[in-house]
Structures are given as structure tokens and as C-alpha cells.
Amino acid sequence: MNKSNQEFLNLLKKVREKKDIDQIGELFMSIISMYGLTTDEVCSLSYYMVDRTLQSNSNKALLRNEFSLDVDKLGIDGKLSVMKAMVATYVDKVSKGG
């Protein structure tokens, strides 16, 4: 493994340990810039990531048990509504120091 690959892996490990959303966002922005993604492509990628995350067994169970939502029956508007609620929850948590 060459030096630049090892440095990149070390950066990813550091980001994972800290779970710093700003740092993770900057990493994604680097990838977005590197690939020259347009706004519509970034929006589609963001939706794809949320959709895939919602499909995990733990998230399906959480939404089913806590909110009576069936992820498999949600359309794009429902998934975007879940995303909006999750962002609002996260912002509230961060603003309270959590």
C-alpha cells in the first residue's frame, strides 16, 4: 500500500472515531468536487443514501415500533419527510449540546 493510500485510510479511521459531522461532510464535499457532481446529482445521491439507510433492519424496526411507519410502503415524499424530521431532531440535539 502506498503512502497516500495509507494516509487516506488513517484519515477515514480518524473521522470514524470522532464521528464529527462537519468533518464527514467535508470528506463528502471532497468526493463531490473530485467527481464534479451537479446539484441534481448530489440531491439524488443524498436521497439514495437516506433510502439505503432506511432499509437497514434496525432503522426499519425503529420507524415501525416508534412511529408506526412501514419503510417499504413509503414513497419519495414519505422518505423525504422522515429525512426532514431526522434533520430537525439532530439539529435540536446538537443545539442542546448533545
Q: Please list the pLDDT of the chain residue by residue as tens digits (98 residues).
A: 677 778 878 877 887 788 888 888 988 899 999 999 999 999 999 999 999 999 999 999 999 999 999 999 999 999 999 999 999 999 999 898 86
In the Cβ-directed half-sphere of 10, how many Cα atoms lie within 13 Å?
Answer: 7
What distance in Å separates the CA atoms of residue 94 and residue 13, rounded to the nearest whole number? 23
Residue with cell 473521522: 15
Residue 98 has what pLDDT? 65
Q: What is the pTM of this model?
A: 0.75
Q: What pLDDT is recorded for position 22?
A: 87
Distance between CA 51 and CA 45 in Å, rounded?
A: 10
